[in-house]
């Protein structure tokens, strides 16, 4: 009984955490500046879901492009922050794989990867792990590891 209670409590708290950090919003509730900025960045795309990330204070537009899910992030005043999509390891450019292979993380396993278009250019966010250690590597399109962040 105690295990069941603990399990149910964990599920409840995870749900509360999710609803507090991300909330689906109707398009009519999204600020006009955010919608205009999205249309400027992605003129022919349809947003199938808008979310507001309360903790980060940003709006996220989820849309499909060429069959792949994309997410675009905006500040409440409409400033575009980034557009990202998940990519498979096999789809990572050679320069990205070479950057990892030539680094201290060459023996780490690639877990997940994202392609992020930002105002300053294209960046790949690659999650690598070794044992219980997990890091995000931020790698430029040219193959330079810009920063690492502990997960």
Q: What are the structural domain ranges in the chain?
A: 21-82, 89-150
The answer to whether 115 and 124 have CB atoms below 8 angstroms apart is yes
pLDDT tens digit sequence for 8-54: 334 444 444 444 578 999 999 999 999 999 999 999 999 999 999 99
Average pLDDT over the chain reads 89
Asked if domains 21-82 and 89-150 share a fold, the reply is yes
Terminal alpha carbon distance of the chain: 34
pLDDT tens digit sequence for 89-110: 999 999 999 999 999 999 999 9
The C-alpha angle 95, 101, 104, rounded to 5 degrees, equals 125
Q: State whether CATH 3.40.50.2300 applies to domain 89-150.
A: no
Domain 21-82: which CATH class? alpha beta
């Amino acid at each position: 009984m105690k295990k069941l209670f603990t399990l149910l409590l964990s599920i409840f708290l995870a749900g509360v955490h999710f609803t507090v950090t991300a909330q689906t919003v109707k398009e009519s509730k999204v600020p006009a500046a955010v919608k205009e900025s999205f249309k400027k960045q992605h003129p022919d795309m349809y947003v199938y879901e808008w979310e507001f990330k309360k903790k980060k204070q940003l709006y996220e537009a989820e849309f499909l492009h060429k069959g792949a899910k994309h997410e675009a992030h905006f500040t409440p005043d409409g400033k575009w922050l980034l557009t990202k999509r998940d990519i498979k390891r096999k789809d990572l450019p050679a320069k990205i794989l070479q950057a990892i292979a030539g680094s201290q993380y060459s023996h780490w396993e690639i877990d997940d990867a994202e392609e992020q278009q930002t105002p300053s250019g294209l960046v790949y966010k690659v999650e690598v792990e070794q044992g219980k250690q997990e890091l995000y590597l931020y790698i430029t399109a040219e193959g330079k590891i810009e920063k690492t962040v502990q997960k």
